[in-house]
């Protein structure tokens, strides 16, 4: 018989871990001294312990390991569990590779500019959103405030008349790239709490969940194009492509002093 301290060293496990395995019935000592409570193990238990460690390394829970060891788990179920674990590891590897690519892109950007980027870009997934929107075609870029302002008035007047509340900041959906400055097609959109009938000017529909590259622009619109440039550079550097209308979410806009305004820009993207 081997005392627990020696067995712990042989197995390269801690004594508390062996105590836990004993408590849950996964690996019980062959003898416990009734006088002092010392646990004793046998060398013959090492193969069982190695199997426990091997299955744990594959990602199995202790409960699942016990089922495998006791023979209560059908082969088909074991095969299915291993396939699920394989898929989980493949997903983790893909995420790690994507993170590695983002690190490489950030390093190249810092090396080229010799400074931290002015805009931080994050990749995230938006939730589905019910919106009311009014689509307008804006002849020239300097007319954006006029046309969008009228479109938002239409939306807010319509949802108010229907007794529907908005649920977040308004935003614009732009149906062409930021380099287009004439005849721009945009939707003045407002998220709403529940559905309502569409009108000839205001359309009600659900925006689906979308993966986006996003950044936040602080201040007025004078240097707004820099945020778009940062997003497009990040998209290209990280192996993504834009796959739909981009969003400008007007989180906070103080028209008296635009320096404390904040706009989040979101580009829907997918991996190339």
Domain assignments of the chain as residue spans, ordered by start: 2-69, 75-116, 122-271
Distance CA 123, CA 214 (A): 6
Instruction: Tell me the two tokens of residue 232.
Output: 């497009």
Residue 79 neighbours by CB under 8 Å, 6+ apart: none
Distance CA 156, CA 170 (A): 10
What Rg value do the Cα atoms of the chain yield, rounded? 30
Residue 254 has pLDDT above 80, yes or no: no
Question: How does DSSP classify residue 43?
Answer: G
Coil, strand, or helix at residue 179?
A: coil
Q: Mean of the pLDDT values across residues 39-52?
A: 90
Distance CA 184, CA 257 (A): 27
Distance CA 120, CA 225 (A): 15
Distance CA 67, CA 73 (A): 6
pLDDT value, residue 157: 96
Nearest to 266 by CA among 222, 216, 200: 216
Coil, strand, or helix at residue 59?
A: coil
- The per-type count for the chain, helices as H runs and strands as E runs, is 7, 12
pLDDT value, residue 215: 93
Angle between helices 4-11 and 46-57 (to 10 degrees): 50
Distance CA 248, CA 264 (A): 6
Cα angle 72, 53, 49 (rounded to 5 degrees) comes to 75
Distance CA 50, CA 45 (A): 9
Instruction: Tell me the two tokens of residue 139.
Output: 């002849």
Q: What is the DSSP string of 233-255?
A: HHHHHTTEEE-S-EEEEEEE--S
Nearest to 272 by CA among 247, 226, 235: 235
Please indicate whether residue 181 or residue 156 has the higher confidence score (pLDDT).
156
Nearest to 248 by CA among 171, 192, 188: 171
What pLDDT, in 10s, does the model give residues 169-225?
Answer: 999 999 998 888 899 999 999 999 999 999 999 999 999 999 999 999 887 777 788
What pLDDT, in 10s, does the model give residues 115-154?
Answer: 666 788 889 999 999 999 999 999 998 999 999 999 999 9
Domain with residues 2-69, CATH architecture: Orthogonal Bundle (1.10)
User: Given 3.20.80.10, 1.20.1250.20, 1.20.1290.10, 3.40.1210.10, which CATH number is that of 122-271?
Assistant: 3.20.80.10
Instruction: Tell me the two tokens of residue 186.
Output: 């945009």
Please indicate whether residue 234 or residue 195 has the higher confidence score (pLDDT).
195
Whether this prediction's pTM lies above 0.85 is answered by no
Query: DSSP strand E in the chain: where?
Result: 2-3, 31-32, 39-41, 122-125, 129-140, 171-174, 182-191, 203-207, 211-218, 240-242, 246-252, 262-271
């Amino acid at each position: 018989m081997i005392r627990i301290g020696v067995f712990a060293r042989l197995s390269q496990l801690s004594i508390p871990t062996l105590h836990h395995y004993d408590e849950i019935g996964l690996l019980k000592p062959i003898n416990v001294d009734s006088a002092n409570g010392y646990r004793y193990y046998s060398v013959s238990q090492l193969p069982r312990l190695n199997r426990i460690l091997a299955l744990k390394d594959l990602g199995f829970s202790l409960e699942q390991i016990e089922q495998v060891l006791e023979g209560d788990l059908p082969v088909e179920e074991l095969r299915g569990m291993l396939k699920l674990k394989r898929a989980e590891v493949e997903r983790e590897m893909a995420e790690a590779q994507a993170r590695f690519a983002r690190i490489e892109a950030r390093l190249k950007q810092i090396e080229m500019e010799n400074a931290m980027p002015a805009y931080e870009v994050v990749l995230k997934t938006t939730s589905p959103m019910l919106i009311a929107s009014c689509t307008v075609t804006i002849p020239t870029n300097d007319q954006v405030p006029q046309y969008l302002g009228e479109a938002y008035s239409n939306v807010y007047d319509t949802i108010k008349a229907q007794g529907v509340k908005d649920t977040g900041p308004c935003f614009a959906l732009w149906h062409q790239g930021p380099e287009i400055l004439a005849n721009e097609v945009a939707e003045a959109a407002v998220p709403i709490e529940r559905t309502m009938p569409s009108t000839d000017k205001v359309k009600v529909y659900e925006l689906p969940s979308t993966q986006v590259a996003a950044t936040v622009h602080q201040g007025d619109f004078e240097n707004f194009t820099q945020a778009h440039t940062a997003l497009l550079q990040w998209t290209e550097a990280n192996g993504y492509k834009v796959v739909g209308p981009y969003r400008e979410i007007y989180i906070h806009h103080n028209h008296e002093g635009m320096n404390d305004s904040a706009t989040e820009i979101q580009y829907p993207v997918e991996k190339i």
